[in-house]
Chains A and B, each alone.
Chain A
Amino acid sequence: GIQVEQSPPDLILQEGANSTLRCNFSDSVNNLQWFHQNPWGQLINLFYIPSGTKQNGRLSATTVATERYSLLYISSSQTTDSGVYFCAVESGRGSTLGRLYFGRGTQLTVWP
Chain B
Amino acid sequence: DAGVIQSPRHEVTEMGQEVTLRCKPISGHNSLFWYRQTMMRGLELLIYFNNNVPIDDSGMPEDRFSAKMPNASFSTLKIQPSEPRDSAVYFCASSRGQLEAFFGQGTRLTVV
Which residue of A is nearest B43, CB measured? A102
The number of A-B residue pairs with CB atoms under 8 Å apart is 53
Query: Per a CB cutoff under 8 Å, which of B33, B50, B55, B99 touches A48?
Result: B99
Number of interface residues of B (CB under 8 A): 24
The yes or no answer to A68 lying at the interface (CB within 8 A) is no
CA distance A31 to B33 in the complex (A): 15
| Measured CA separation A21–B7 after assembly (Å) | 33
When C-beta atoms are compared, the residue in chain B nearest to A105 turns out to be: B42
A101 CB contacts on chain B under 8 angstroms: 45
Contact B42 A100 (CB under 8 A): no
Residues 35-70 of chain A: 1 if any B CB is under 8 Å from the residue's CB, otherwise 0?
A: 100000111010010000000000000000000000
Q: Given contacts A98-B95, A104-B42, is CB(A42)–CB(B106) below 8 Å? A: yes
Interface string of A88-109 (1 = CB under 8 A from B): 1010100111111110110000
Name B's A-contacting residues (CB within 8 A): 31, 33, 42-45, 48, 50, 55-56, 89, 91, 93, 95, 97-103, 105-106, 108
6 contacts between A and B (CB under 8 A): A43-B103, A86-B43, A88-B101, A92-B98, A96-B56, A104-B42
